[in-house]
Structure 1
Amino acid sequence: MHERTSSEANRVVAEKIGRFREIFIPYPRHIEFHSRCDYLRQLGRATRGQAQRGLRVLAPSGSGKTTAALAFVEAVNRELPPKSTDRPVVHVSLSSATTVKRLFSSILRAFGDGFAERGTEETLRQRALTYFGHANTELLIIDEVQHLNFRSGPKSDVTDSLKALLDAGVVPIVFMGTEEAEGMFTRNLQLNGRLLPPCDYDPLRSTVEEERQLFRGYWERLDQEIVSLGLMPEPTGLHHAEVVAALHTVTSGVVGRISRLTEAALDIALRRDARRIELYDLAQATDRWALPLEFTSRNPFKGMQL
Structure 2
Amino acid sequence: MTPAIYSPDEIARRIALFERIRHPHKLLSEIHRALNIVRAEVNQSRADMVEFAKQNPGMTIKPSPLPLICVIGPSGTAKSHVIKTYYEDVCRTENWQVGRRAVFDFELSVDANKRQFHVDALTALKDPDPEKGNESVLRRRFGKLTDKLGTELGLCDEVQHFIASDTGKRTKSVIDAMKKTLNTGICALGLFGTQKAADIFDASEEFGQRAHIRFDLKGGNPDVADDRALFVAFLKTFKTEIEKMGILISTKTLEDAETIGCLFLQASGRLGLCQRIMKAALRVALESGATTLLPVHFAVAIDRGKLLFGIKENHFASHAEAFAD
- Gaps spanning 5+ residues in structure 2: where? 47-62, 320-325
Structure number with greater Rg is 2
Distance 1:134 1:93 in 2: 22
- Is 1:46 the counterpart of 2:62? The answer is no
Do the aligned partners of 1:91 and 1:140 also contact (CA within 8 Å) in 2? yes
Residue 297 of structure 1, aligned match among 283, 289, 312: 312
Amino acid aligned to 1:41: R
Residue of structure 2 in register with 1:288 after alignment = 304
Shift of 1:131: 1.2
Shift of 1:150: 4.0
Residue 100 of structure 1, aligned match among 106, 114, 117: 114
Do the aligned partners of 2:282 and 2:297 also contact (CA within 8 Å) in 1? yes
Residue of structure 2 in register with 1:85 after alignment = 99
Distance 1:81 1:154 in 2: 39
Question: Does the C-alpha gap of structure 1 residues 38 and 254 become closer, same or farther in structure 2, counting only changes over 3 Å?
Answer: same
97-106 vs 154-163, greater mean Cα deviation = 154-163
158-167 vs 114-123, greater mean Cα deviation = 158-167
Q: For 1:179-194, list aligned pairs within 5 A.
A: 179-194=195-210
Distance 2:97 2:183 in 1: 32
Do the aligned partners of 1:251 and 1:295 also contact (CA within 8 Å) in 2? no
Shift of 1:277: 1.1
- Gaps spanning 5+ residues in structure 1: where? none
Distance 1:249 1:156 in 2: 38
Do the aligned partners of 2:251 and 2:293 also contact (CA within 8 Å) in 1? yes
Distance 2:96 2:186 in 1: 25
Shift of 1:3: 9.2
Do the aligned partners of 2:235 and 2:254 also contact (CA within 8 Å) in 1? no
Shift of 1:214: 0.5
Residue of structure 2 in register with 1:30 after alignment = 28
Do the aligned partners of 1:150 and 1:158 also contact (CA within 8 Å) in 2? no
1:212-251 C-alpha deviation (Å, 9 max, x unpaired): 1111111111121212222112233432222211111110
1:44-82 C-alpha deviation (Å, 9 max, x unpaired): 222234211101111111222112202212333323447
Distance 1:252 1:168 in 2: 41
Bigger share in helix: 2
Shift of 1:9: 2.7
Question: Does the C-alpha gap of structure 1 residues 238 and 73 become closer, same or farther in structure 2, counting only changes over 3 Å?
Answer: closer
- Is 1:138 the counterpart of 2:113? The answer is no
Shift of 1:19: 2.5
Please report the TM-score for the alignment, with normalisation by the length of structure 1.
Answer: 0.90
Q: For 1:192-207, list aligned pairs within 5 A.
A: 192-207=208-223
Shift of 1:200: 1.6
Identity %: 26
Residue 56 of structure 1, aligned match among 43, 51, 70: 70
- Number of residue pairs the alignment of both structures matches: 300
